[in-house]
Amino acid sequence: MAADIARILDYPTKIHQSSGGVFEIEVDGELIFSKAKLGRFPAEGEVLDLLSSRAVS
């Protein structure tokens, strides 16, 4: 996913490994996706859509 984000949206990406099933996406310190809050992993393309909508805003 990080490679897709970097390639498609030209966003710099950083992966932080964790334990306990944590999966979160932050942009400029703002949480835009949290598996813990939603109880699921993102659907295919969901993170790219979230990032794309931020880029347009």
pLDDT tens-digit profile of 3-56? 887 777 777 777 777 888 888 888 888 898 999 999 999 999 999 898 888 766
Predicted confidence at residue 46, as pLDDT, reads 93
Predicted confidence at residue 40, as pLDDT, reads 95
The CA distances from residue 21 to 11, 39, 56, in Å, are 24, 10, 31
The beta-strand segments (E) located in the chain are 24-27, 30-34
Predicted confidence at residue 52, as pLDDT, reads 84
pTM: 0.73
Assess contact for 22 and 36: CB atoms under 8 A.
Answer: yes
Predicted confidence at residue 12, as pLDDT, reads 75
Q: What are the residue ranges spanned by the domains of the chain? A: 2-56
Predicted confidence at residue 56, as pLDDT, reads 61
